[in-house]
Amino acid sequence: MSLLVKICGLSTRETLETALEAGADMVGFVFFPPSPRHLSLEAGRDLGRQVKRRALTVALTVDADDATLDNIMDALSPDMFQLHGKESVARLRDIKQKFGRPVMKAVPVATASDLAVLPGYAAVADRILFDARAPKDATRPGGLGEPFDWHLLENLDLKLPYMVSGGLDAGNVAEALRVTGAGGADVSSGVESAPGVKDPELIKAFIRAARASQELSVR
């Protein structure tokens, strides 16, 4: 199965174009005001037009209500919603039914006990994204540049496709994929020169490193 590489938190035409030309499979747009990567609906509309089906568009939200999701659908019409809050299994089901889009549920991980929620989410979600659990005083649930213990996902028996994120960069993505067995890697702060400021060279290096890890595993 082909590895999926997602560049999340894109906010400018230049860095989006870099990600697309470098071969990103998914491009993520953040609609969550506390994040330095938050986009206005108009910016999301503009960037969505630029994608032109060259990658899947993913709208990241955190415990968003229906009105917010409606507005995002109108502006971006994303291929997928990435739900990064405390959304329940019932809420996932509700969003899928109302908006007709697949959902990727972010699961924060710090200890093995965090994986107890998987059976419930796996029954409804289309994909799982494992991310590092944010500290208690954090203002947002992800994009904090901290990895988790990837060995917690070793021997994971999950029938659903899953991706790994949290503190990834070009230097460690291959190891993260090897240990977790994930079918995809998602990066945001690991390709930035400052919070919310994507670096074109880091984007290209990350995608190269992720692709190289797949070539090695095929051999």
Q: List the one residue out of 28, 29, 49 whose CA is nearest residue 38.
A: 29
Residue 14's identity, in one-letter code, is E
The strand ranges marked E within 139-179 are 162-164
Catalytic residue among 66, 79, 94, 131: 131
Tell which phi-psi region holds residue 171, choosing left (phi > 0), alpha (psi between -120 and 50) or beta: alpha
- Helix residue ranges, H only, the chain: 13-22, 41-51, 66-76, 89-99, 118-122, 173-180, 200-218
Show the tokens assigned to 106: 């972010």
Annotated catalytic, 126? no
- φ, ψ of residue 7 to 5 degrees: the values are -105, 115
Q: Decide if 8 is catalytic.
A: yes
How far is the first Cα of the chain from the last one, in angstroms, to the nearest whole number? 14
Contacts of 36 (CB under 8 A, 6+ apart): 143, 195, 196
> Cα–Cα distance between 94 and 85 in angstroms, integer?
15
* Separation between Cα atoms, residue 148 and residue 138, nearest integer Å: 16
Q: Which residues are catalytic?
A: 8, 131
